[in-house]
Chains A and B, each alone.
Chain A
């Protein structure tokens, strides 16, 4: 009976490994990193005329508004109530106004005249598509009353017909 050849025969895995690692790297870079400021639960409305964002603004305040019109603050922000309790969401426009007024106190460019100049931050409003206008308007009004003049409404960019 003949003996088979006992030499080791190993497939070359190196190119396969290279390819797999490249794919891993691609998916890692394209992964949907959760941004601090944005809330993934907010489903934004679609708009054809929505313009691409410019990265020029260093001072921004994100207001994520859910279906019920509740403002969800970013993890780095919180609202301190008069009784000392803290909250990470604001369920009425009065609270939004108080919170924005508090923010506005320290939100001026150096040398700005606080009696004339508006606060420097741009407010980015991310409103859920199912939120009624009444709630959105209350927040817009709170922004205006707190002195903020620059407000941006976010939407998902959609290609035209």
Chain B
């Protein structure tokens, strides 16, 4: 009979012939694209800093009642016309500029001095704030270097300001 269904005997094993080659081609193209455009992003971090305070404002007046008032050190960094470090000096607030230590443009000397200072402060259980007086032309790379050196020596309150007080 025509309408009679043919009974299936067992299972017919059909070997599916899936064309993998185009898929592999495409995968290789994708792989090549990602390898060629792969550029690991540099890891960004942040540097602690204190925002400039208004000159002559309430923050600029030291509180005589407060105990353990942090010592205030001033680092002055002048720049060449090309924006590189010309001279670094360090002095304590209130002392004459001429009495400050001069490190020329040697960052290693500056770092060593800050290290000694940080050790002395730790021994005396004192805290200190650091004001970086920076020349207008100094490039950001060097500004960050100066802040970085101070942060490495455990200075917490670091405030970058221009050398000219009128510009603060």
Mark A residues whose CB is within 8 Å of B.
13-14, 16-17, 20-21, 23-24, 27-28, 30-32, 44-53, 124, 127-134, 136-137, 140-141, 143-144, 149, 151-157
Q: Are B144 and A45 in contact (CB under 8 A)?
A: yes
CA of A13 to CA of B22 in the docked complex: distance in angstroms?
Answer: 11
Q: Chain A's nearest CB lies how many Å from the CB of B164?
A: 10
B138 lies within 8 A of A132 (CB): yes
Known: A20-B31, A133-B135, A157-B42. 6 other contacts (CB 8 A): A20-B24, A31-B38, A136-B140, A144-B52, A144-B54, A153-B147
Q: Which of B43-51, B63-71, B118-126 forms contacts with chain A?
A: B43-51
B104 within 8 A of A: no
A51-B27 contact given A30-B38, A30-B40, A133-B139, CB 8 Å threshold: no
Q: Are B49 and A31 in contact (CB under 8 A)?
A: no
Complex CA–CA separation, A124 to B79 (angstroms): 26
Residue positions of B touching A, CB distance < 8 A: 20-21, 23-24, 27-28, 30-31, 34-35, 37-49, 51-54, 79, 83, 134-141, 143-145, 147-148, 151-152, 160-162, 167-168
A13 to chain B, nearest CB (A): 4
Whether B42 lies near A24 (C-beta < 8 A) is no
| CA A51 to CA B45, docked complex, whole Å | 5
Q: Show 18 A/B contacts (Cβ-Cβ < 8 Å), sorted by A.
A: A13-B24, A17-B27, A24-B27, A45-B140, A47-B47, A48-B152, A49-B151, A50-B46, A129-B139, A129-B141, A133-B138, A134-B136, A134-B137, A137-B134, A137-B162, A155-B44, A155-B47, A156-B43
CB of A24 within 8 A of CB of B51, answer no
| Bound-complex Cα distance A149 to B53 (A) | 10
Q: Most A CB atoms within 10 A — which of B79, B144, B152?
A: B144
A130 in complex: contacting residue of B39, B46, B140, B162, CB < 8 Å: B140
A59 to chain B, nearest CB (A): 16
B139 partner, pick from A20, A44, A130, beta carbons under 8 A: A130
A140 close to B51 (CB less than 8 A): yes
Bound state CA distance, A131 and B83, in angstroms?
9
Inter-subunit contact A27/B24 (CB<8 Å): no
Residues of chain B with a CB closer than 8 A to A27's CB: 31, 34-35, 38
